[in-house]
Amino acid sequence: MTAHNIAVIPGDGIGTEVTPEGVRALQAAAERFNLDLTFEDFDFASCDYYLAHGQMLPDDWKATLSRFDAIFFGAVGLPDKVPDHISLWGSLLQFRREFDQYINLRPCKLMPGIKSPLADRQPGDIDFYVVRENTEGEYSSIGGKIFEGTERETVMQETVMTRTGVDRVLKYAFELAKKRPRGKLTSATKSNGISITMPYWDERVKAMHTAYPEVDVDQFHIDILTANFVLHPDWFDVVVASNLFGDILSDLGPACTGTIGVAPSANINPEGKFPSLFEPVHGSAPDIAGQGIANPIGQIWCGAMMLDHLGHEDAGKAMLDAIESVLAKADTNVLTPDLKGQGTTRDLAQAIIEAI
Amino acid sequence: MTAHNIAVIPGDGIGTEVTPEGVRALQAAAERFNLDLTFEDFDFASCDYYLAHGQMLPDDWKATLSRFDAIFFGAVGLPDKVPDHISLWGSLLQFRREFDQYINLRPCKLMPGIKSPLADRQPGDIDFYVVRENTEGEYSSIGGKIFEGTERETVMQETVMTRTGVDRVLKYAFELAKKRPRGKLTSATKSNGISITMPYWDERVKAMHTAYPEVDVDQFHIDILTANFVLHPDWFDVVVASNLFGDILSDLGPACTGTIGVAPSANINPEGKFPSLFEPVHGSAPDIAGQGIANPIGQIWCGAMMLDHLGHEDAGKAMLDAIESVLAKADTNVLTPDLKGQGTTRDLAQAIIEAI
Ligand SMILES: CC(C)[C@H](C(=O)O)[C@@H](O)C(=O)O
Ligand SMILES: CC(C)[C@H](C(=O)O)[C@@H](O)C(=O)O
């Protein structure tokens, strides 16, 4: 029986309501599959912590969290209290960079009982992954402002891509595509407009393809690619993209499947040198926080991805199957208001836990 | 009777098939509204021109085209013959920059008889404009590569925003929003991730808003904004965005209305110091070029926008009304194959011309 230490960071808003349910679901899966999971809670990486301490994280956060096998994260950010660029750059984006979580992986999947905004699509029609580069590219902090406060005021910000950074995300995406039934990889580019970094991205895709001749590769410019997510979501299997393009596609994808409120997201350091972090796509949702009605599925689905990552794919699959079976039953006493039910966070989580 | 000189640049692929029909439709509108339009054709800004001359444009293109009141453009780019970054940066992006066409304006409108990929949306539900900054931002040519060919290889590209550049596109967007019935403006940002240029964009939106207190302003990060185009397209009235974000949104918007093959795009120099350029959103479509079956609506709709811009809003409206009335009739003998009909480019154009 392998033991895994999990750091739990609820963060802000509904993060504090859904993480405990996610932990309970993980405990249920651990019991069924005989896994040894231990959990420890942390209050940092939240806006309350920032207001009390003047920083989002304690000085020794890196040493503290490095002891864990994974981080189970809720949501961070309360723009009315702390500006986003402080709360996010001071926490989530620190983790991604300092723990070299260079893969951001998000499934886009039509689920039973969840209405897609697209016409005439059924579960099974849409099922793909977005693999996003998570440490460099358009999210660099290099740049600045000149002639401040005058008519000549100019701001600049550098996009930075390294061969190491690009190649390792491409490698991960090719490996994933190789394992998928259709073996297909789509690259997001914009080399017709962004004339330096994007042609470089294309060049590295070509180079990496030679090592994976069995993977079927195509590419689209990001503008038409977003259009194709809406028009032809069935075309996609694995989509690989730079940091910014991946950010966009991994919100748009779940929007097309109607799952943006329930989709998970994994920030992965594939080598396991540092802990990986699992967080729902939804934010802290201050508008519904405190009412106990937040949908816990995103957090539980994160748990499933975390177990996959820790090498327990059977347990991860059981958690996802439990989610799908509860959704398929469509019991409005159990479903939360976002799914047109009258259930609470606890009700819906409980139903899923029983199904596990 | 005001006279207008129009430069016609068919470009590549289906561009050469749809521009003549667009010109015929404009002539019909000119006749009905008693306008004096003259047209002159140019063969440059095409890949054939490039293959013959080693450049996309003649040396004196700027002087030549400056004599015109507007440019009526087809489509450029044939990636099998000439790489996109040559054909596009050597033509369209030159025009935008050298003629200071700092506004790219695209309508997103559900049209009768055109199926939207979104469930349960009717004509009238979606009707907004994307206003894109068209000269600076993420499309700068500043940057380069270092340590080429080694493991340390790194590429950089600068995003550049100037106060002049940002303020003038915001001003245009606020003015447009002020004239629209709902008076609403949405700003596309990403200040939670792109930490220098995007907070600057937000700051300028706030500053410009003080001059337009009657306009109702909101903002979304680009990731969730693309999601909202799919989930809540009815929320939008005028959306203003940087060059890259505007590029994405102005493909995604028409995709959501099912009009990506028929939507127009205007590259505008609002002061009229230089000619503005009108081009359909669709590309040169090499796969169907030469068959006479390309849909001419995008090109004709461009004509309508061009007449609006030249101050003939009644004539522009008549052209758009003619398009809508032909679409509403849904005569499959007239509609082109992309609209599930058996008509040719000429058939569909002819029906619209008769309606004008
Ligand atoms: C062809 C390309 C450079 C161009 C752009 O990105 O601006 C196109 O997508 C557009 O929107 O007109
Ligand atoms: C909050 C924000 C900085 C973040 C990002 O853009 O990376 C978020 O959108 C995400 O996708 O995790």
CA A329 to ligand 1 center in whole angstroms: 46
Average of per-residue pLDDT values in chain B: 95
In which order are the strands placed within the sheet that holds A276-280?
A36-41, A3-11, A70-75, A276-280, A264-268, A103-109, A127-133, A238-241, A184-189, A216-221
> Which stretch of A165-169, A190-194, B72-76, B301-305 has the lowest confidence by average pLDDT?
A190-194
Chain B residues touching A155 at Cβ < 8 A = 160-161, 196-197, 200
Inter-chain touch A192–B141, beta carbons under 8 Å: no
pLDDT of residue A124: 86
pLDDT in tens, A15-32: 999 999 999 999 999 999
A256: chain B residues, CB-CB within 8 Å: 230
Distance A149 CA to ligand 1 centre (A): 32
Judge whether residue B61 has pLDDT over 90.
yes
- The pLDDT of residue B322 is 97
**Which residues make up the CATH 3.40.718.10 domain(s) of chain A?**
1-102+269-356, 114-261
How far, in Å, is the centroid of ligand 1 from the Cα of B247?
Answer: 6
Whether the per-residue pLDDT at B331 is higher than 80: the answer is: yes
Residues of chain B with CATH 3.40.718.10: 1-102+269-356, 107-267
Q: For B151-170, how does the pLDDT look when each residue is reduced to its tens digit (9 = 90+)? A: 999 999 999 999 999 999 99
By CB atoms closer than 10 A (0-12, 13-18, 19+), residue A124 is exposed
- DSSP state letter for B356: -
Contact A114/A258 with Cβ under 8 angstroms?
yes
Atom of ligand 2 at shortest distance to CA of A84?
1
**What topology does CATH give the domain A114-261?**
Isopropylmalate Dehydrogenase (3.40.718)
For A262-284, what is each residue's pLDDT tens digit? Answer: 999 999 999 999 999 999 999 89
* Ligand 1, atom 10, residue with closest C-alpha: B247
Lowest mean pLDDT across A11-15, A30-34, B120-124, B177-181: B120-124
The tens digit of pLDDT for each residue in A82-92 reads 988 789 889 99
Q: Does B104 touch chain A (CB under 8 A)?
A: no
Residue B64 pLDDT > 80: yes
Structure tokens at A209: 């393809």
Question: Global pTM?
Answer: 0.94
Q: Which two tokens stand for residue A55?
A: 């920083």
**B184 phi and psi, to 5 degrees?**
-120, 135
Closest CA to A159 of B247, B159, B222: B159
Q: What is the pLDDT of residue A1?
A: 65
B167 close to A126: Cβ distance less than 8 angstroms:
no
- Residue B83: the pLDDT is 87
Query: How far, in Å, CA of B281 to CA of B318, rounded?
Result: 21
Torsional sign, CA B98, B100, B102, B104? negative
Q: B33 to chain A, minimum CA–CA distance in Å?
A: 37
From chain A, the residues in CB contact with B207 under 8 A are none
Ligand 2 centroid from CA A111, angstroms:
24
The CA distance from B253 to B84, in Å, is: 23
Which ligand does the CA of A11 lie closest to?
A: 2
Instruction: Among B78, B92, B106, say which to mutate for ligand 1: greatest number of ligand atoms within 8 Å of CB.
Output: B92
A41, A11 Cβ separation under 8 angstroms: no
Tell whether B254 lies on the interface with A, counting CB pairs under 8 A: yes
CA dihedral for B226, B228, B231, B235, sign (positive or negative): negative
User: Which residues in chain A have Cβ-Cβ distances shorter than 8 Å to B120?
Assistant: 119
B88 vs A144: which has the higher pLDDT: A144
Ligand 1 mean position to A162 CA, how many Å? 25
Is B131 a residue whose pLDDT tops 70? yes
From the CB of residue B313, how many other CB atoms can be counted at a distance below 10 Å? 12
CA atoms within 13 A on the CB side of B161: 30
In this predicted structure, the answer to whether residue B299 has a pLDDT above a threshold of 90 is yes
Whether residue A248 lies within 8 A of chain B, CB to CB, comes out as yes
Contact A133/A100 with Cβ under 8 angstroms? no
Phi/psi of residue A60, nearest 5 degrees: -95, 25
Closest CA to B278 of B44, B34, B107: B107
Query: Which phi-psi region, left, alpha or beta, contains residue B65 (left: φ > 0; alpha: ψ -120 to 50)?
Result: alpha
SS3 B160: strand
| Residue A312 pLDDT | 96
* pLDDT (mean) for B319-335: 96
CB atoms B77 and A152 under 8 Å: no
What residue of B is the nearest CA neighbor of A158? B158
- A196-225 average pLDDT score: 97
Q: Chain B neighbours among A 183-212 (CB < 8 Å)?
A: 190-197, 199-200
CB contact under 8 A, A226 and B252: yes
pLDDT at residue B32 in the model: 96
Instruction: List residues bridging with B128 in a β-sheet.
Output: B108
More confident residue, B85 or A150: A150
Q: Is A144 on the interface with B (CB under 8 A)?
A: yes
Q: CB under 8 Å to B116, separation ≥6 — which residues?
A: A119, B110, B126, B256, B257, B258
**Searching chain B, which residue's CA lies closest to the CA of residue A157?**
B159
| pLDDT score recorded for residue B93 | 87
Q: How confident is the model at residue A41 (pLDDT cuts 50, 70, 90)?
A: very high
pLDDT grade for A240, boundaries at 50, 70 and 90: very high
* Domain covering B107-267 in this structure, CATH number: 3.40.718.10
Give the A:B interface size as CB pairs under 8 Å.
194
Report the length, in residues, of chain B. Answer: 356
Q: Say what percent of chain B tops pLDDT 90.
A: 92
Query: Cβ neighbours of residue A18 under 8 Å, at least 6 residues apart?
Result: A74, A280, A294, A295, A296, A298, A299, A345
Instruction: Grade residue A93 by pLDDT with cuts at 50, 70 and 90.
Output: confident
Give A319's DSSP letter. Answer: H
CB contact under 8 A, B141 and A195: yes
How long is chain A?
356
The CA dihedral of B248, B251, B254, B258, to the nearest 10 degrees, is: -120
pLDDT at residue number A206? 98
Record: contact B223-A192, CB cut-off 8 A:
no
The pLDDT, as a whole number, for residue A103 is 98
Residues B84 and B12: beta-carbon distance below 8 Å: no
Share of chain A above pLDDT 90, in %: 92
What is the pLDDT, as a whole number, of residue B99? Answer: 97
| Residue B2 predicted with pLDDT over 80 | no
CA A152 / ligand 2 centre spacing (Å): 31
Q: How confident is the model at residue B123 (pLDDT cuts 50, 70, 90)?
A: confident
* Structural fold of domain A1-102+269-356: Isopropylmalate Dehydrogenase (3.40.718)
Contact A190 B117 (CB under 8 A): no
**CA B327 from centre of chain:** 21
Question: Does residue A40 have a pLDDT over 70?
Answer: yes
Which ligand has the minimum distance to the alpha carbon of residue A264?
A: 2
For residue A278, the ligand closest to its alpha carbon is: 2
Tokens read off for B60: 């004196």
In angstroms, the CA A34 to CA A28 distance is: 10
Backbone φ and ψ of B205, nearest 5°? -60, -45
The mean pLDDT of B41-51, rounded to a whole number, is: 97
Position B1 pLDDT exceeds 70: no
